[in-house]
Structure 1
Amino acid sequence: MKWMTITIGLLTAIATNALAQTARLNPTTDYALINGVIHTMDEAGTVAEAIGITGNEIVYVGDAAGLANVIGIGTEVIDLEGNMVLPGFVEGHMHPTAGALIMRGADLQIDSIDGILERVRTYAEENPELPIIHGYGVRLHLWDDGYGTKEMLDEIDADRPIFLWGVDGHQAWVNSKAFEIAGIDENTPETVPGFSFFRRNEDGTPAGWIVEVPAQMQVLSKLIDLNIDYTKAGVREWLPRFAAAGITTAHDYGIQGLGQDEGFQLMADLAASGELPIRVQGNFYWNDPNLDPIPPLEAMREQFDTDLVSARGLKINMDGGDDAYSALYTEPYSDNPDASPNPIIPFDTLNETVLRADAAGINVVCHCFGDAAVRAVLDAIELAISQNPPRDRRHVISHAMLVHPDDIPRFGELGVTWDSTGAWMSLDPAMQSVTLQRLGDERVKQYSPMRAIAEAGGNVSLGSDWPAAGYISEYRPLVAIRTAVMRQLPGRDDVPPLGGEEARVPIDLAIRANTINAAYGMGKDHEIGSIEVGKLADLVVLSENLYEIDPNTIHDVEVLYTIMDGNLTWDHTKQ
């Protein structure tokens, strides 16, 4: 669907006398967008009023008068009616395929155990024909001591398996029937000892809680057929929502639930059939130190390399999170000093693999929750830079919830992008309970040091990590931008800003983090992320100018239209 749709439902096509007088017989521009407040996000911070587009490429950015040189008879002129235009939002960290697998069934994102159980019960009663009862978004901070048990779910339905995803996507709560079907009992060895396992009762029987994706898949794969069709149905359900949020590109940090080749092929098939409204650049997901990830990644890089779907980098999983004492910190946990988690990838294996990947021109993106994990990856990248020839590196460390002060300037010095989730940058209930217990007040104040890293010269980007979250699973960039700016979640403005007011992020930096900075981290800043001549026509039109409104209301701004690759992917008037 091309821009003709916009002229019908969005903007009134006009041809002013001045433009008509300069029309040429052989136009070079298909579409001319005028009368906008166009924040280009280029280096100079240019604000323009007109854009010329030919095919999927931007051929003009400037004032309306300058369009005279590129338009002609046949050019469609579109009035933006004074609305704000930004580059299409670039999600620096997302899981579109895995999210479509997880976000099924009842939405359980509420702050009440009884409320969760009631929602599961209602869902089960309303869907008696379903062979499995699904739910997602169980918040992990709700239990002061212990976790939900299988018996609590057995009371709802003991005859059908119940599988409820935790809000972080890394844990799950299931009933006895799920364990029975999956063949999990007291004699079942842990899936990945110390990392992915079943919480157990004193007698060794599984208690009801599953930790990390490998063990989750060990159970879920026995409950349902995790095939392409099942996952594709979920992807098709969620893709329009991404477009409606203004997203035009997603950096996929790991396909799970399917074979990685299958996940990329699913997206490639959707692109081929014209059903993919976002660009997807993905990574080979690696969390097994016994596997050499370079050969399969190189094969995937060769197989998937189109404008819309590509496999590019190596995703390294270094640690877990603070809730399960599996994040790596330079100082002991405040509430459990004896906790001593091991890195998922041993440091010597990390160094050797990053060195080889970097030498092969492969960028790495890393899940690093704690400051010790961050330091280990920065050290590995520094080693690679010292030993390999110079090149245009785009390594990324994601989450980096806590960064040791000594390591903050290293992002800029080493050219490493710090990517994290805007919607996590607040003292939400999970942060106020679990994280404060684990780390104490002083370290929590240093969480999500986005502004400090940017001021020290580092590139900072925003990525939702959808569907994973600590408190609220949120994919909409405008919510991320608002929370990063205010350091408070919408609706929770009575809570002090995370890190104090000095940690609040300027609006321009927050927008750049979800556009050009995220594109830089992906190595795609020459194609997307800003509105400049020669770049792809990825745009989002908003109902309000984010620079002029109360920042508390940014999340309420409406996405009017989203354009990806010159195609209209979201039109609010059609809904």
Structure 2
Amino acid sequence: MAAKADLVILNGKVLTMDSARPRASAVALAGGLILAVGSTEDIRALAAPGARVIDAAGGTVMPGFIDSHVHLFQGSAALEFMDMSGAETADEAARTIRAYAGANPDEPMIFAVSTIYGLMDGRNPTRHDLDAILSDRPLALLSPDIHTVWANTLALRQAGLLHGAPVPEGSVIVMEAGGNATGELQETGAFGPILKLNRTGGRDMLGYVTGTEPEPPATEEERAADRRLIAKGLDHAASHGITTMHNMDGNFYQLELLSDLDASGDLKCRMQVPFHLKNYDPLDRLEEAAEMHRRYTGDRVWSGRVKMFMDGVIDTHTAWMTRPYPGTDTVGEPVFEPEHFNEACRRIDAAGLQISVHSIGDLATRRVLDGYAAARAANGRRDARHRIEHIEVIHPDDLPRLKELDVVASLQPRHSALGDYFPLIPQGTLLHDDQYPYAFAWQRIRDTGTPVIFSTDWPVIPVDPMRSIQCAVAPLDPGAPWDVRPQSLMDTLASYTSGNAWVEFNEGRKGQLVPGQMGDVVVLTHDIEALAPDQIHTARAMVTICGGQITYSG
């Protein structure tokens, strides 16, 4: 007797992401796996008595989205911290901060996320600006890219930063002429002490700031609070059709919390968590990465990857460039020195682990490629699928090296200044005119044959795949010196599904609607192929299914 389905999805526009059978109208699931795809009539006949029946009503049905670059714990916490995304002027900032502070009298520090650069009517805030808004309570504002914090005097004093402090290479406490901090803290090595003042004690960003464990260890009450927070973030991601996420910061603590949620049935998305190697870490710490990989190997919570940073961000001139930023004599600063980085790559690769490296500037990307080349020269060529995260600017000489070294380009379409979230980059400010065609050059990279995968980098931007898909397919076109090259819808969807399954070494097991693969599916409210490119964002997740279980319905 043929197997029967415990869940069927009928009347859909099914995109299987399988070239052998790209389209259908219905999908059947059984035991957490895809059972069959086919016509609505045939799939209806497979439904067991009492099976769950979902009417897609003409909406797209496709593999669940895999967001291959997120910061889950931070994103979860950001759902509850003060949101500054609507404040674009000094007056709006003051109103937002004072209203939140008044409504939250017990908050140990007023901490905000999504604070724009240039908040003080075109310039970044100083501690004096923030003191004028709120001086009697610690106050800190985190930039959207999670690379800069602006703090008031009380927060700086409590964190031991008011008079400066030693920081790792690549981090900066910006100082006043008189010897005190201005309030601007660039990169994690500078602002890490500030985060300990907030209500989470900084545990939400510990895997990002240091990659180490809570010290002292989290109490059971703190662990319960952190599990609740992460569960909220997982629910939020599932509401956007996401079934898997690749975390970009990590420690054993997060893996323990996720495993607890999995055991209690509250893990709404599959999660990969890396080991985070900092530039000041002894390379012997890589044994912890190997232990993570040995200990966490499931389909729902696993490791197997090491994350590093090579530079910062363009906005603060901390992205590492091949030549000085316009009108300056600075090229940014590397986080890792070349030989230190190369040796890290050699050791990680020799251990059979995957590498992800944050790289924004063109010189940073060149040095990451050099590190991957060093690993190959030492260990031989293997199917490593090492990744470079972001690649916001690339030198044309390095484009062919991506393919030559079998590198995966891990990109975020909505990070682009040609998207709908961040402002355009005016000429003569952050980029030279001849760099514009190689900034956010997603299609140029794809045209080399380099595998391209997509993500959001939540909470840098909202964890909404549809907005990112629209930014890839229908970017803004401000004209020269930009060279705008939209991507096709199907390439973009593959970069959010089958491509992301491939990069985690799960091709043939997930990322396609093919019998026998994991039952991870999203049903959209619209037929995405019928929407105008600039209307793709109107499609939302109607139902999300992970492992055959409905994780969102709305």
Report the TM-score when normalising by structure 1: 0.86
Determine the structure 1 residue equivalent to 2:531: 549
Determine the structure 2 residue equivalent to 1:512: 494
Q: CA deviation at 1:45?
A: 6.2
Pick from 225, 229, 235: which aligns with 1:234? 229
Q: 1-side partners of 2:110 and 2:426: how far apart?
A: 28
Q: CA deviation at 1:391?
A: 3.2
User: What are structure 2's unaligned runs of at least 5 residues?
Assistant: 203-217
Q: CA deviation at 1:59?
A: 2.2
Q: 2-side partners of 1:510 and 1:564: how far apart?
A: 21
Q: 1-side partners of 2:13 and 2:422: how far apart?
A: 39
- Contact kept? 1:426, 1:487, Cα under 8 Å: no
Determine the structure 2 residue equivalent to 1:374: 365
Pick from 162, 171, 176: which aligns with 1:196? 171
Q: 2-side partners of 1:434 and 1:183: how far apart?
A: 37
Q: CA deviation at 1:229?
A: 4.3
Determine the structure 2 residue equivalent to 1:176: 153
Write out aligned runs for 1:61-460 (5 A).
61-64=37-40, 67=43, 78-109=54-85, 110-142=87-119, 147-186=124-163, 188-193=164-169, 195-224=170-199, 225-226=201-202, 227=218, 228-255=223-250, 260-292=251-283, 293-336=285-328, 338-427=329-418, 431-433=423-425, 437-460=429-452
- Contact kept? 1:425, 1:498, Cα under 8 Å: no
Q: CA deviation at 1:515?
A: 1.1
| 2:528 counterpart SS class | coil
Pick from 27, 33, 56: which aligns with 1:51? 27
Q: 2-side partners of 1:31 and 1:106: how far apart?
A: 40
Farther-moved stretch of structure 1 (308-317 vs 413-422): 413-422
Q: CA deviation at 1:481?
A: 0.3
Farther-moved stretch of structure 1 (343-352 vs 441-450): 441-450
RMSD: 2.5
- Contact kept? 2:34, 2:518, Cα under 8 Å: yes
Pick from 467, 470, 481: which aligns with 1:482? 470
Q: 2-side partners of 1:424 and 1:166: how far apart?
A: 14
AA of the residue aligned to 1:137: S
- Contact kept? 2:110, 2:198, Cα under 8 Å: no
Q: 1-side partners of 2:316 and 2:255: how far apart?
A: 31
Farther-moved stretch of structure 1 (118-127 vs 436-445): 436-445
Shift in CA distance, 298/508, structure 1 to aligned 2, threshold 3 Å: same
- Contact kept? 1:102, 1:165, Cα under 8 Å: no
Pick from 538, 548, 551: which aligns with 1:566? 548
Write out aligned runs for 1:13-24 (5 A).
24=1
Q: CA deviation at 1:222?
A: 4.0
Shift in CA distance, 68/323, structure 1 to aligned 2, threshold 3 Å: closer
User: What are structure 1's unaligned runs of at least 5 residues?
Assistant: 1-23
* CA deviation vs aligned residue, 1:467-507 (integer Å, no higher than 9, x gap): 12xxxx2210000000111113xxxx8x5599444x11111
Q: CA deviation at 1:455?
A: 1.7
Identity %: 28
Determine the structure 2 residue equivalent to 1:463: 455
AA of the residue aligned to 2:57: E
AA of the residue aligned to 1:451: Q
Shift in CA distance, 28/219, structure 1 to aligned 2, threshold 3 Å: same
Shift in CA distance, 50/159, structure 1 to aligned 2, threshold 3 Å: same
* CA deviation vs aligned residue, 1:62-114 (integer Å, no higher than 9, x gap): 33565599666665555433321011001011110122344543211132232
| 1:81 counterpart SS class | coil
Q: Aligned residues, how many?
A: 531
Q: 1-side partners of 2:42 and 2:261: how far apart?
A: 38
Q: CA deviation at 1:289?
A: 4.1
Q: 2-side partners of 1:99 and 1:75: how far apart?
A: 35
Q: 1-side partners of 2:421 and 2:549: how far apart?
A: 40
Report the TM-score when normalising by structure 2: 0.89
Q: CA deviation at 1:528?
A: 1.7
Shift in CA distance, 124/221, structure 1 to aligned 2, threshold 3 Å: same
| 2:358 counterpart SS class | strand
AA of the residue aligned to 1:467: P
AA of the residue aligned to 1:204: G
Farther-moved stretch of structure 1 (127-136 vs 563-572): 127-136
